[in-house]
Chain A
Amino acid sequence: MTDIFVAPKHIAFPDDPKHMGIFSSFSQNPEGVSFQTQKPHETIILFLRSHFVTNLSWIIIGLMLISFPIIILMFIPKLGIDFLSSPSASRFTTVYALFYYLIVFSYIFISFLHWFYNVFIVSSERVVDIDYSDIVVHNLAITNLSHIEDVNYTQSGFIPTLFNYGDLFVQTAGNEKNFEALSVPRPREATHIIGDLIEKK
């Protein structure tokens, strides 16, 4: 009789650094990545950020905001409104349209930065959680691997299961802050990598 419980695949720790793509969300031994307080002998084992699919909401909103004035300009002649005919009105419209597109650009750029700089790093010694929650707020939390008590993940819902992403939770000892990496790809693999590192410590 075959065993219904399949042991998780052995997680390899490749020693050779791997090139990391600019939009990569899951990278083992990434090449060229470093953080501010990194020690000279400290190496980055795992680099995580939210799955790219989580960006779809702001990408769709951004596209809608870009197309919104174009749609309005297409419908205005059909409604018989002729407010753009006077020179002063067209000048104001030009300035406001450009200002509007700059604000839309800001929205897209900040949303991208929010995804890009929300990073969870597991090094050979520590776990580093970099949060970029707002344009004027960023938070950096660090804990030693020896302080970690438990690592677990949750993966629920249709889209997270389809794209294989979930939330990773790292519980630390005492009063230290618990860490979480939300919507990261391959959470099971990431949990095993951190678990193996804790065992080695």
Chain B
Amino acid sequence: MDFNFISFLHPAFWIKAITLIAIGFYIIFTFVVFTQVKVMAQILSLPHAGTVLKTISIIHIILAISLFVMAIVIL
């Protein structure tokens, strides 16, 4: 008989699920930041700034996705 469903009752499972949902929302937020930086770079063109800020935003997205993957693996 399979008792795996009992893992749903374990608090660690719910903590992991909530953590993953929170990081998931954070990933969406990082995409919003990137979109906004892209829009502002179109509205106002400043020397070197657009490229630098877009690169930082992309690094931000990569870090958030990496954290999500890391949380899935180690939690």
Tell me whether A and B are bound partners. Answer: yes
Question: Chain A residues in contact with chain B, CB under 8 A?
Answer: 19-20, 22, 31-36, 88, 91-92, 94-96, 98-99, 102-103, 105-106, 109-110, 113, 116-117, 119, 130, 132, 135-136, 138, 140
Chain A residues contacting B33 (CB-CB under 8 Å) are 106, 109-110, 113, 135
Chain A residues contacting B49 (CB-CB under 8 Å) are 22, 116
Interface size on B, residues (CB 8 A): 34
Contact B75 A92 (CB under 8 A): yes
Q: A88-B12, A102-B26, A106-B60 are in contact. Are A36 and B44 (CB under 8 A)?
A: yes
Chain A residues contacting B56 (CB-CB under 8 Å) are 109
In the complex, number of A-B residue pairs with CB atoms less than 8 Å apart = 85
Main secondary structure of the interface of B (DSSP, over half): helix
Chain A residues contacting B30 (CB-CB under 8 Å) are 106
Asked if B42 lies at the interface with its beta carbon under 8 angstroms from chain A, I say yes
Chain A residues contacting B60 (CB-CB under 8 Å) are 102, 105-106, 109
Contact A138 B47 (CB under 8 A): no
Chain B residues contacting A95 (CB-CB under 8 Å) are 19, 67, 70-71, 74-75
